[in-house]
Structure 1
Amino acid sequence: MNIDALITTLYSCRKACLFCADACLDEEDIADMSTCIRLDHHCAILCATTADLLVQSYGNIDELLKLCIEACKACADVCSQHKHDHCQKCAASCRECITACENYLSRSA
């Protein structure tokens, strides 16, 4: 995976997570959505930070990519448990981001 494709995927995941978090606030049982909202925000922050640093040609980014993978996995796991379309789309975007990050990490292994 090239760096431009990874950056695009990271920003796309950020967008999906922020959309999901906002949409979760409109669901009937917001208390049931609190973990989803929290993980959406964590994932969005890590994806954006990782992408921003890649854009700036920051040095060794491998550890941040690993953190991003962890956040995406946690977010995908929780979102996939909810039937809402926004949660399902967020989970799918997180899984795409996991794959992109893992592919990028494997290029330097």
Structure 2
Amino acid sequence: MSNEQLQNCIEECLKCMVICNQCYKACLSEGHAGHMSRCIQLDRDCADICQLAASMMARGSEYAKQICELCASICEECGNECKKHDMEHCQKCAEACFKCAEICRQLSA
């Protein structure tokens, strides 16, 4: 993996983390959090694994590839859940999650 690929993956993970946190916050403030509970839970899980993946890649951890594989799976699951909802923040989140999943899969291959 090149330095450029690594940096790109770190940046996408951090972008995804921010967008998942924004989606999580927006879902909570909409007044029907019970209906959005799966989305909220996956937003939080995705944000956390993206942060961990970025951190492990940045410090050159020997486990970065395995974490990126897990990150890709969680991002994909979160993206699939978010795309079910019509809210703009959920659609943006789904897009960010799918992009992050794709890049993490490429890096971990």
> For this structure pair, what is the TM-score category when the shorter chain's length is used for normalisation?
over 0.9
Residue 5 in structure 1 maps to residue 13 in structure 2: no
Cα offsets for 1:8-28 (capped at 9, x unmatched): 000000001000000001113
Asked if 1 retains the 8 angstrom alpha-carbon contact of 2:13 and 2:50, the reply is yes
Which residue pairs with 1:24 in the alignment?
Answer: 27
Residue 92 in structure 1 maps to residue 95 in structure 2: yes
SS at match of 2:84: coil
* Residues 1:6 and 1:31: Cα distance change in structure 2 (over 3 Å): same
Which residue pairs with 1:15 in the alignment?
Answer: 18
* Stretches of structure 1 lacking an aligned partner (at least 5 in a row): none
* Stretches of structure 2 lacking an aligned partner (at least 5 in a row): none
Cα distance in 1 for residues equivalent to 2:22 and 2:108? 27
Cα RMSD (Å):
1.1
SS at match of 1:20: helix
Normalising by structure 2, report the TM-score: 0.92
Cα distance in 2 for residues equivalent to 1:70 and 1:2? 19
Which residue pairs with 1:42 in the alignment?
Answer: 45
Q: Which amino acid aligns with 1:68?
A: C
Cα offsets for 1:22-60 (capped at 9, x unmatched): 000111322111110000000000000010011111114
Percent identity of paired positions between Structure 1 and Structure 2: 31
Runs of 4+ in 1 over 4 A off after TM superposition: none
Cα distance in 1 for residues equivalent to 2:79 and 2:35? 16
Between 7-16 and 58-67, report the one with greater CA deviation: 58-67
The count of residues paired between Structure 1 and Structure 2 equals 106
Q: Which amino acid aligns with 2:70?
A: L
